[in-house]
Structure 1
């Protein structure tokens, strides 16, 4: 029987972090996004107290920039479409083997060469035994507490643009078969304007066994109904404690459109918890809230505005390699 993936707060051997590599995708945000990713990598490495950081660059120019900005990190050069390794890298289970799921560009929205097999290639480089899974699943669509319980959203996992015709029961059976999942908490919708169709790592994250962090709506918050519905669903599920944390409220793009900015896209490393910030009034309150949740780790808040222009943040660009043996 497959053992579920360890929770993110369990010890890591290393972490893959995608490094912005394509000027045609990032345009004027390329260099500032690279700087934000390097700062994130530095916080995770924590002067050697954290974990080994593997920056994944798609070409020689990006690899050279990564080496210059983050000399403490290992740099891996492998072609990919974009940096969202949470969704394209393989998921390592509790027995140390990996599951490599199919990927279709978040329902056909962004079909970029290299994303379909970057997970298998990265796992092979690390000598991780990998099993290919015959259905579409992105890592950011699920979050687990290590006991076999995961949280997800109906908007994503039951979306017809992923696995058309697959029922809820069939999805749960695949999760059980491939990832050792024993119980699924189904939330409804994800954040407004999230091109991932409601990835749960922008909405609700486990922070301890049976403890689920969910944002508390801030004034003028476009997602307040989503947060409230998620909290109510989790409370009805039973055996789950809901920890409310601040939300950043309404965050707008340069074009004055609402974007899915979320403090929930944090990363739990061996020594630190890194929280994305957006220059909002609740930034420091969010850092303080996570400090209370993770008293054994340094909580670091870092700006992620330019990474967000690509559609995600720190959790989206990272995939940990747990220490299982």
Structure 2
């Protein structure tokens, strides 16, 4: 846009000129008599400082003396404000985000986010979860994300978790626009919340479907070069846990045919399923989260640059200690379901670059045992470098879970971390599955009742409580003894593990 104005200098001070140019973008000519030469010169200096030749809209700013008067001509075009759209490397349908406000500051922030793309050789580090957080990401469960009978309870548990985390740090609760009234109503019912807790919870309108934001959201990292203060986050382009689209919202124990039959049954006839459009939203969601964060950013230094990669995985499938050690199951990363054509060496090379990893500890896992193919965050976690907690199955658990546990223990006992340390290993026994398991057709055969699916917050640790009084108490005492400098907070859950995950699965730290 270009405007042309001619004003007497006496009618318009230099501050007003700067405001006009900043807000409008214009071509201005100021005419004055010779006594105002100094004012015009200062004005030119101010404008050239604000709009240097490198500025995208710079044209010229000059003083022209004549016999009877002086004139200052300025021509500055306001930069075009590009609409933000979530780019999709798979050429799938995109989800539009509101155009950012037309201010020069905002333009620079957005321009930085869109153009500052790191090269494919840049090295990064994924901080340990115990590092300081800016906030925690959560996702309010959509109707698509759960069985109908578990939706209300799952939503209540997410709200309970949000309020617990808000004691320690800000919470960004991503919610579909149509679900915001209910999310707000559930928050309003939390009558015991302090004013600080309420202030720490922000509802963010976003195209979210799954509540499992650990898997669908971005993974925040930092540059390995300490001089690079830019913020970064990886978009692993969520792929429904290896294209498990036939299972829809139902557990891995339900065959595709049975899942289809459930979808057509009377009780589910009006209940939305995870259709193709929703799955495209899921793939784009990590990028949308970053766009929304950048839209609220006040400074270029706070912009988060999205790092793209050919690797496909979920955040719940990786565990790092922040000092170069990585743990994962092969079943949840290696293979054609997620990374066809890539061998373990290629995966390690890329993850080493992205996460700052030099030592990889792989466990076999089991393809198809659950929808995630056995994510590491339900099996073994770092408490701190060199110290891990392992999920020990309950005595009633199936043999396959005992086999997985034994394999994990064997690998850990013969391994060392990136600093050459042997691991200090602690077992955390699962609760009695009878305290968690329901009887709904389509829910998980084995609920995700793992105490190691806890979540570190600033100054604290939030852990699940499943309703097995003895097991809950023992797990609490063990974790408290391992993190004596942190406040340990228990959150009661039942619907979440029956849906397929616990607390770590539904959280993601922002660093």
Superposition TM-score, scaled by structure 1 size: 0.91
Residues 194 and 260 in structure 1, CA contact (< 8 A), matched pair in contact too = no
Q: How many residues align?
A: 318
Residues 193 and 258 in structure 1, CA contact (< 8 A), matched pair in contact too = no
Which whole-Å deviations, capped at 9, do the CAs of 1:109-166 have from their partners, x for residues lacking one? 1462411011111112222111221221110000110012110001111132111221
Residues 394 and 432 in structure 2, CA contact (< 8 A), matched pair in contact too = yes
Residues 319 and 327 in structure 2, CA contact (< 8 A), matched pair in contact too = yes
**Residue 3 of structure 1, CA deviation:** 3.0
Residues 190 and 202 in structure 1, CA contact (< 8 A), matched pair in contact too = no
State whether structure 2 residue 236 is matched by structure 1 residue 108.
Answer: no
Going from structure 1 to structure 2, the CA distance change for 1:192 and 1:15 (only over 3 Å counts) comes to same
Which residue of 2 is the match for residue 272 of structure 1?
A: 460
Which residue of 2 is the match for residue 22 of structure 1?
A: 143
**Residue 255 of structure 1, CA deviation:** 4.6
Which residue of 1 is the match for residue 428 of structure 2?
A: 245
Distance in 2, matches of 1:185 and 1:149, equals: 8
Matches within 5 A, 1:200-215: 200-215=376-391
State whether structure 2 residue 408 is matched by structure 1 residue 230.
Answer: yes
Which residue of 2 is the match for residue 153 of structure 1?
A: 329
Correspondent of 1:196 among 361, 372, 377 = 372
Correspondent of 1:262 among 447, 450, 455 = 450
Name the SS of the counterpart of 1:97 in structure 2.
Answer: strand
**Residue 23 of structure 1, CA deviation:** 6.0
Correspondent of 1:295 among 470, 473, 484 = 484
Two-structure CA RMSD over aligned residues (Å): 2.0
Name the SS of the counterpart of 2:282 in structure 1.
Answer: coil
Name the SS of the counterpart of 1:117 in structure 2.
Answer: helix
User: Once superposed, which parts of structure 1, at least 4 consecutive aligned residues long, lie more than 4 Å away?
Assistant: none
Which residue of 2 is the match for residue 5 of structure 1?
A: 126
Distance in 2, matches of 1:23 and 1:98, equals: 27
Correspondent of 2:359 among 173, 183, 190 = 183
Superposition TM-score, scaled by structure 2 size: 0.59
Q: Which moved more, 1:176-185 or 1:118-127?
A: 176-185
Correspondent of 2:288 among 111, 121, 129 = 121
Which residue of 2 is the match for residue 307 of structure 1?
A: 496
Which whole-Å deviations, capped at 9, do the CAs of 1:67-118 have from their partners, x for residues lacking one? 2333621011111231111011111113331111122101111462411011
Distance in 1, matches of 2:217 and 2:368, equals: 25
Residues 274 and 300 in structure 1, CA contact (< 8 A), matched pair in contact too = yes
Distance in 2, matches of 1:136 and 1:191, equals: 16
Normalized per residue, which structure has more helix? 2
Going from structure 1 to structure 2, the CA distance change for 1:216 and 1:307 (only over 3 Å counts) comes to closer
Distance in 1, matches of 2:187 and 2:457, equals: 17
Residues 5 and 146 in structure 1, CA contact (< 8 A), matched pair in contact too = yes
State whether structure 2 residue 218 is matched by structure 1 residue 64.
Answer: no
**Residue 24 of structure 1, CA deviation:** 7.4
Correspondent of 1:55 among 173, 177, 193 = 173
Going from structure 1 to structure 2, the CA distance change for 1:191 and 1:286 (only over 3 Å counts) comes to farther
Going from structure 1 to structure 2, the CA distance change for 1:192 and 1:230 (only over 3 Å counts) comes to farther
Which whole-Å deviations, capped at 9, do the CAs of 1:240-291 have from their partners, x for residues lacking one? 2222222225453425932332112111111331112222241221111111
Going from structure 1 to structure 2, the CA distance change for 1:192 and 1:115 (only over 3 Å counts) comes to closer
Which residue of 2 is the match for residue 78 of structure 1?
A: 206
